[in-house]
Structure 1
């Protein structure tokens, strides 16, 4: 019924190229019209706490124990104690003093921005992550240019809602049925703004920081020698569309800032395809430059913009674009459920000819309509991107504005609204593009990707047996590595601290004494192996420790960011780096061989990122209603992803057997 009604309305809108009141209406222009202003809770968010120095030292020692020999532990303990009683106290006092003078932000915010922007490593694989969206099962909405149009419209509806303060505030509801209600919003509306966050806590609803949201659109990372910068053009009216390496500026907002009608946006995208069909693929695909080492790209850009025409086009049409849409061709691959790796690898990094990795957000749309987001990471974290990703998916499913039946408004020849970006390219730039292409191709060719879908562990199974899904997955990673490589290594799980003003992330260290004890126990010969009941008790202890560490991290009580900020303070003050940072323990725990990240979302088909160290494993994972999944990236001849995946499947089997046996023995 709903879909029929939408089609009737859309056929009317799309056959009328002139401006109508329908497209100016709130229903079309805004994704949400929240009763609470978007930034309602921002002022009252608590500040990110700086942990006590003794607590950070204690947590560091505890986290490094599984990685060290007894002799190394003793040496580390001595060095940490000297740090705690000496230079650590001085640095901690300076950090506290600086934090007290900057109450508008958090102690980690600026150092974290600096860390990202100063790193000279290429963005693809090292920083830019990938989120792949589930497809639309309805063929009339999955076709590439149709899906692109609907995604663009939904993106703009999200953006306009955010700008107008009409996007729902980001709130984590412990029990959505009780708190994500109109009654909750009425109570919040009358709560004094200065205390609104604390009033929300009474409903077990936790407002999250939204300071990163304004950089979702119109933001670009500009390469500079030594340290990049972020530039923003929030009033732009166009997007950047890429096709076979060619670049087009496409207006999607009118002169008053209203979203153009669906038929107009569809017509402009089709005009891009028509223009592109009449050309050869770009012989010098400039987007490849954004895949390069940052100082090399900065030098190339400096030369490139010495041409005033290039400088104007790059700044006005590319850097200022609201976001980037990359329309890939058949030659770039389509999604295959039974062989996902080629397309996922292409979307994560690929040949870089049809990408502009410096944009805050890029929508990648394959020839079959498979859609992914590849985002530049310095400006923000998963919370803001995942909110956008989820809203985009829901909106395009619930009310797509065009279909394959929509009559578009022709835009061929309308070069004021569909502008091919034609730069003047000299031999130096051609050479730089060729060099960047070869370097990126070498890195990407060296990347391996392995996928595992394990059906016997899933959300219902975990609920049935009273297990923490995340803890079970992380324990499986530790067991998989121990089985395959006979040891324990630095392991990383990202945890958001967005419950605090300008919070970013904290590291949760999933390799613990509890996980080590379980791994050693379950790998004992049968005659000396503990019983299923005893092993299940150890699993429960792993979950308890994991849960406590996760809670501490989310509450800003981890140790990684605190120690990072103390070292940053020493560098800023010209103080020699303390011995703690030269210990084997510090080096080993920060050599993140196992780097993991999960995003819980019903919209997510897959998520991936590159290894953070050359001999490491980049593990994007999720636990769904019917399986647990992991996508593991490695570099060839550095680490073997296939060996790890096979060991992970074996680890899942072992843990499942323990759970089932222990449950059977209780009956």
Structure 2
């Protein structure tokens, strides 16, 4: 209908009196509004990029500099370093002659050039300032910090008062430093000590020394060149080889998920929750477009800027399958979302041409979809299974069956959507007396049925039938910290700022009436046969994964901070103890750390299994070891872990450097016994902490009760190796931790539920170490504080 109406807006008719032109004024007005809106958005985007690029100065400073230059020129004085004289005598003289026009035009242009030069010098100074990382190594438990760090923080605080935009610091962030070859190889050997026998260690040490003296030096020289010629020497290779070139399914293997709040459940209306979530996500997207998000989101109190590159890829983005390597696409000015309900796909507008649609308006549209008599077209229900299967298979099918006609048009709607909303038919929630309910919720978010998520999209919002919500996120575009920030903002605005009425419906007026457009498909038996191939692959993965979640409320961050131990270091030591109990050995451990203090930084690995942590674990399992010795070893292990974490964040990690060396070696087609031995590393315990409190500025006016109600269980991911565990955790408030444990059922040595049981014992054992040093902590159960 929309296409037919568009055609009738303008028509030409040949009559005896000539050509008659008829048109629909209202529709042409809408077309003009759409054109002008797009034009204004492009101008606004250019303006924001320009303002961010000249930070910390503003446009008024340009007027000031040119004004000073004009005043001095009136008195025949030149403050433009001779640029004005050169322009006047050698360029404008031949165009305008020797008059006043040449004089003041040269002054204006030279003043602008001088202004731009001063900006570049200022931004280079900021880059030099941000290269200082000594503050990372200051002891947080000391009463005072060094004078250098104090001055550094004061300067940053002063700069932050200039009102930076989201990307204001991007061009001023330093490049990721390239570690020395000797330093990386030495650290690598040290990380292998607790997991290798003496014979194995000596063998790797010998190979490492040969590599250091031979091939390693040549590979390092290539990396030195790349580090100077690129913004980040590792990120482009990381995204290409770790993500885009992987041919295995991204469902479970790569994508990760995130949870709703645990205790706050203000509505059971699926349409109302979907509408509020969509509205809040669109508001966050608008903040990103306008660069109104603070670049200090991760460290709001310290005002340290982090790389913000990943924010612009969160929405309007999709991973596109390729035969050899996938690609990532991002689009501007997208005004619709894709909706999946009861096996059918829809296009739903989120903008009426003048403003974002209100939640009440969106709720009506979602309710129409839910109440509709929906019968999927042949093959439509399981269409998304292509995104859950092998990447090359999906690339071939996409090229052959979705390259023309209505299939291509409908596929473009999904891939170019701002995001995807899944109206799921399941009901899940949190029951502290029944962990299996949260386990089932995690399975639904991680993979669903395989065919009811568009895993290629940057983000899928999954709204359950009972109004609970979660997300499934593609990983190549960015990391969990940005997703967590978006979800914090969305839940804050959905549940607290906007909320619901007493009947659980959206609050607000309904001025616009809209409806979703049903997407059309032509999927014959051949296409559906190809879908079955992906379905078998996906079902095999789904049947093999086991999730076990733990919401721990016996103690939390508040207790650990009293002990002057980092909560992350404490939990990593606890995980080492749990893993040893579970597997009776130590293994290479992966903990994700950010490198976003540098431009285009992604992640680095903290190898959490150290000699110090293994000494602590052995002491905990030694019945004859005194409590004081265990405490001493825990503190030593925690300090070592913090040192490794700081090294990773400041560009002194091991794994990304080794990875880049390995890529160069493969490019040169060289043979390396050293890399054959150590690469790829097998992390049998892969861990990650979900960041929290990135919306502190937005939530500073909330009461402690409101903050407690927003506590989430964080998110999780699938097992990284066939015989290992994946463990994600979140330090949710002062009195709660949440753990997400994944493993494969086919592995003879792993069990997520057994690991959860061992983890509970480890948490209690470690808490008992401090029983005589601290009073028993309070815990949060169902949002109410109880004192034990």
TM-score (norm 2): 0.71
Q: Which residue of structure 2 aligns with residue 553 of structure 1?
A: 648
1:156-167 alignment runs, 5 A limit: 156-167=282-293
Q: In 1, distance between residues paired with 2:358 and 2:276?
A: 11
The structure-2 alpha-carbon separation of the partners of 1:231 and 1:173, relative to structure 1 and needing over 3 Å to count, comes to closer
Q: Is 1:126 the counterpart of 2:262 in the alignment? A: no
Give the CA deviation at 1:430: 1.1
SS of 2:770's equivalent?
Answer: helix
Q: Which residue of structure 2 aligns with residue 593 of structure 1?
A: 684
**Superimposed CA distance per residue, residues 125-157 of structure 1 (whole angstroms, 9 cap, x where no aligned partner):** 1010011121673634x5221121111111111
Give the CA deviation at 1:655: 1.7
Larger CA deviation: 433-442 vs 237-246: 433-442
Q: Which residue of structure 2 aligns with residue 635 of structure 1?
A: 744
1:429-440 alignment runs, 5 A limit: 429-440=527-538
Give the paired residue count: 593
Match among 585, 609, 614 for residue 487 of structure 1: 585
Contact 1:245-1:282 within 8 A present in 2 as well = no
Q: In 1, distance between residues paired with 2:644 and 2:652?
A: 9
The structure-2 alpha-carbon separation of the partners of 1:341 and 1:648, relative to structure 1 and needing over 3 Å to count, comes to same
Q: Is 1:255 the counterpart of 2:353 in the alignment? A: yes
Give the CA deviation at 1:224: 0.8
1:57-456 alignment runs, 5 A limit: 57-102=185-230, 105-115=231-241, 116-134=243-261, 137=264, 139-140=266-267, 143-173=269-299, 176=301, 204-255=302-353, 258-275=355-372, 277=374, 284-315=381-412, 317-329=413-425, 332-337=426-431, 338=434, 339-400=437-498, 403=501, 404=505, 406=507, 409=510, 418-456=516-554
Q: CA RMSD in A?
A: 2.7
**Superimposed CA distance per residue, residues 560-593 of structure 1 (whole angstroms, 9 cap, x where no aligned partner):** 0000011111222x2314222112x555xx2111
SS of 1:80's equivalent?
Answer: helix
Larger CA deviation: 559-568 vs 80-89: 80-89
Contact 2:310-2:482 within 8 A present in 1 as well = yes
Contact 1:267-1:410 within 8 A present in 2 as well = no
TM-score (norm 1): 0.84
1:647-666 alignment runs, 5 A limit: 647-661=758-772
Give the CA deviation at 1:251: 0.7
> Which blocks of at least 5 consecutive residues in structure 1 are unaligned?
1-17, 19-23, 25-33, 177-203
Q: Which residue of structure 2 aligns with residue 608 of structure 1?
A: 716
Q: In 2, distance between residues paired with 1:282 and 1:604?
A: 36
Give the CA deviation at 1:292: 0.5
Contact 2:684-2:724 within 8 A present in 1 as well = yes
**Superimposed CA distance per residue, residues 167-200 of structure 1 (whole angstroms, 9 cap, x where no aligned partner):** 22244437x2xxxxxxxxxxxxxxxxxxxxxxxx
Q: In 2, distance between residues paired with 1:444 and 1:209?
A: 35
SS of 1:519's equivalent?
Answer: helix
Q: Which residue of structure 1 aligns with residue 673 of structure 2?
A: 579
Give the CA deviation at 1:368: 1.4
Give the CA deviation at 1:408: 7.0
SS of 2:658's equivalent?
Answer: helix
**Superimposed CA distance per residue, residues 245-285 of structure 1 (whole angstroms, 9 cap, x where no aligned partner):** 211011102335x3123333222222222335576997642
The structure-2 alpha-carbon separation of the partners of 1:307 and 1:215, relative to structure 1 and needing over 3 Å to count, comes to same
The structure-2 alpha-carbon separation of the partners of 1:43 and 1:126, relative to structure 1 and needing over 3 Å to count, comes to same
Match among 597, 620, 628 for residue 728 of structure 2: 620
Greater relative CO (CA pairs within 8 A, separation 6+) = 1
The structure-2 alpha-carbon separation of the partners of 1:58 and 1:407, relative to structure 1 and needing over 3 Å to count, comes to closer
The structure-2 alpha-carbon separation of the partners of 1:575 and 1:282, relative to structure 1 and needing over 3 Å to count, comes to closer
Match among 566, 576, 584 for residue 478 of structure 1: 576
The structure-2 alpha-carbon separation of the partners of 1:67 and 1:147, relative to structure 1 and needing over 3 Å to count, comes to same
Contact 2:498-2:507 within 8 A present in 1 as well = no
Larger CA deviation: 150-159 vs 390-399: 390-399
SS of 1:392's equivalent?
Answer: helix
Contact 2:342-2:374 within 8 A present in 1 as well = no
The structure-2 alpha-carbon separation of the partners of 1:131 and 1:273, relative to structure 1 and needing over 3 Å to count, comes to same
Contact 1:136-1:397 within 8 A present in 2 as well = no
> Which blocks of at least 5 consecutive residues in structure 2 are unaligned?
1-29, 31-36, 38-161, 693-709, 776-788
Q: In 1, distance between residues paired with 2:774 and 2:261?
A: 35
1:449-468 alignment runs, 5 A limit: 449-468=547-566
SS of 1:514's equivalent?
Answer: helix
Q: In 2, distance between residues paired with 1:640 and 1:136?
A: 28
Contact 1:363-1:372 within 8 A present in 2 as well = yes
Give the CA deviation at 1:452: 2.5
Give the CA deviation at 1:400: 1.5
Name the larger-Rg structure. 2
Q: In 1, distance between residues paired with 2:553 and 2:297?
A: 32
Give the CA deviation at 1:357: 0.6
Larger CA deviation: 448-457 vs 271-280: 271-280
Q: In 2, distance between residues paired with 1:406 and 1:40?
A: 35
